[in-house]
Structure 1
Amino acid sequence: MKPRSLQHGAAPRWDVVQPVRRVRPNGVSITGFRNQGAGAIDLPLIPYPAITVILECGDGSLTVNGGTDRSQRGSLVSGLHTGAMRMSGTNIECVEVRLSPVVAYRVLGVPLVEMAGGVVPADAVWGRAADRVRQQLGDAPTWDDRFAATEALLTRHGRDRPSVDREVAWAWDQLIVSRGGLRVEHLAESIGWSRKRLWSRFRSQIGLPPKHAVRLFRFSHAAQGLAAGDNAAQVAADCGFADQSHLHREVLAFTGMTPTSLAGAPELVLEDTTRAEGTFVQDPR
């Protein structure tokens, strides 16, 4: 597989590699990153509706400054977040995994609400298995081998663990399909739950309250539009913001950047790999 390169300003170039074959299970995407060049990087991490796992496999250093005002070095897990975060380091080589919260609830085996808005070390989630996969990834001769080792880790830790409630999974899928364009009251009514019950179950199993998840999806849709070069006023209208000022405030809150700055750095916005497959896309009632 041939890596593609990304460049942000004068920062060192990134080589980006993705698996040729489709990753299993659904709701999982895996990407390899290699930071080329001697200079240090310092980049914002754009919020996305997925749990992010970063597994180091090189000799460089990687640090993420999370929304909890604490920094985390090395392999880590980042919960759903709606605030600005940054990544810094030198000579970074890593495998990044993005997990739908529906999948992450089972694979990680820890309450997602405990890591919402921040980052935790990978060994706090997987224990010594995180060190073993770090060694495997470092010894692997090819990116294909690294991706296979990562999939094996996810598969192994996803066995025999509880899944999210069927109703919660369905509600998450509806947010994917609508890109955050649904009211929480509508979701609760559709599954026959009270608003309070949906709020409680959704927050504990997904990691964010439903209304915060709606904001995250809406922002992610807007970021994709801005990165594609769409007019900010049109993006605001298409994504359900009250007006362009509302869009400006949300982008600033999520990234610490203005819409103009975000539009001028499309390489910071990850490709949209959210999939509404493999969970419960039919009404669960």
Structure 2
Amino acid sequence: MSFAVGDGYAYYRGPSADTAPHAHAAFQVAIAEHGEVTMEDAGGTRHRAAALIVAPMVPHRLLAAPYLLTYYIEPHCVFADRLRKYAGGVHAAAELRGLRPEDLRPAGARPSGDLDERLVAAMRLLTRENVPMPALAARVGLSPQRLRALARRELGLPLPRWRIWQRLSRATGALSEGKSPADAAIAGGFADQAHFHRQMREMIGLTPSAVLRIVRPSAAAGDVDGDRAVDR
């Protein structure tokens, strides 16, 4: 089992449990180690293939598998330009069957050539800072209305959802560094642990305690008790 976060992407290699229905702010590529991976779309149709891809903000759930390689590829990096043809729904993606982390390292760090450079700049700012929308728009030379319209047209992703995704990324990093779910919620900028729990389940389909067991398999049971309390 392994988990890593790079510039513009994250990946997980290991067993996968059933997830709750969710929609994330990145492209997800799920690759079966053996056989096929299965996802269910919002209409209940099951999709099976050696590799499946789902675009940002497409509702779906991942079904349990003994061993998967799962990538989350952020939509403002240049590698995502190869994936935009997979818009809407869940798709088989045979061309991505051999995708490796080293394929993403240089491409994840480079900005998209398809998106408006001001939108890319705004998204990159949100990966580093929790900037209010009016200030964010001003820093990239746009009005808030124009920035929101760009995000809707070019990403199909509201920037407030991107802001939450980045908070989840920071909170997940805190979990992997040894923080408890409660402390990770603070590190991510969430109002409280319950808010962190709701947003992670909505955008990843897992609770913080489940994510903790992925990013820190050696975590003791006591590390996740607080999150279990949120479940109840």
Band of TM-score, shorter chain: 0.5 to 0.7
Partners of 1:168 and 1:247 in 2: how far apart?
26
Ranges in structure 2 where 5+ consecutive residues have no aligned partner = 218-232
Partners of 1:30 and 1:252 in 2: how far apart?
18
Q: Secondary structure at the match of 1:163?
A: coil
Choose from 184, 190, 195 the match for 1:246.
Answer: 195
Q: Which is higher, the Rg of structure 1 or of structure 2?
A: 1
Distance change >3 Å, CA 105–CA 164, structure 1 → 2: farther
Distance change >3 Å, CA 34–CA 86, structure 1 → 2: closer
Choose from 31, 44, 58 the match for 2:19.
Answer: 44
Structure 2 match to 1:190: 139
Distance change >3 Å, CA 237–CA 199, structure 1 → 2: same
Partners of 1:175 and 1:85 in 2: how far apart?
27
Give the stretch that moved more between structures: 251-260 or 231-240. 251-260
Partners of 1:224 and 1:173 in 2: how far apart?
17
RMSD after superposition: 4.1
Q: Do the aligned residues in 1 keep the contact of 2:152 with 2:158 (CA within 8 Å)?
A: yes
Distance change >3 Å, CA 173–CA 84, structure 1 → 2: same
Is structure 2 residue 71 aligned with structure 1 residue 100? Answer: no
Partners of 2:164 and 2:127 in 1: how far apart?
12
The 5 Å alignment of 1:49-128 reads: 50-55=26-31, 59-66=34-41, 69-74=44-49, 75-81=51-57, 85-89=61-65, 96-102=70-76, 103-110=78-85, 114-115=87-88, 118-122=89-93
Distance change >3 Å, CA 256–CA 191, structure 1 → 2: closer
Partners of 1:230 and 1:201 in 2: how far apart?
36
- With normalisation by structure 2, the TM-score equals 0.66
Structure 2 match to 1:200: 149
Count of residues in correspondence between the two structures: 208
Identity of aligned residues (%): 22
Choose from 161, 167, 185 the match for 1:212.
Answer: 161
Partners of 2:138 and 2:36 in 1: how far apart?
48
Q: Secondary structure at the match of 1:73?
A: strand
Ranges in structure 1 where 5+ consecutive residues have no aligned partner = 1-5, 7-15, 36-40, 123-129, 138-145, 156-160, 269-285
AA partner of residue 39 (structure 2): V
Q: Do the aligned residues in 2 keep the contact of 1:227 with 1:262 (CA within 8 Å)?
A: no
Distance change >3 Å, CA 88–CA 263, structure 1 → 2: closer
Distance change >3 Å, CA 185–CA 119, structure 1 → 2: farther
What are the Cα deviations for residues 21-79 of structure 1, in whole angstroms up to 9, with x where unaligned? Answer: xx9xx746778x577xxxxx6343997653223455x6512112345644321122122
Is structure 2 residue 122 aligned with structure 1 residue 166? Answer: no
Q: Do the aligned residues in 2 keep the contact of 1:47 with 1:216 (CA within 8 Å)?
A: no
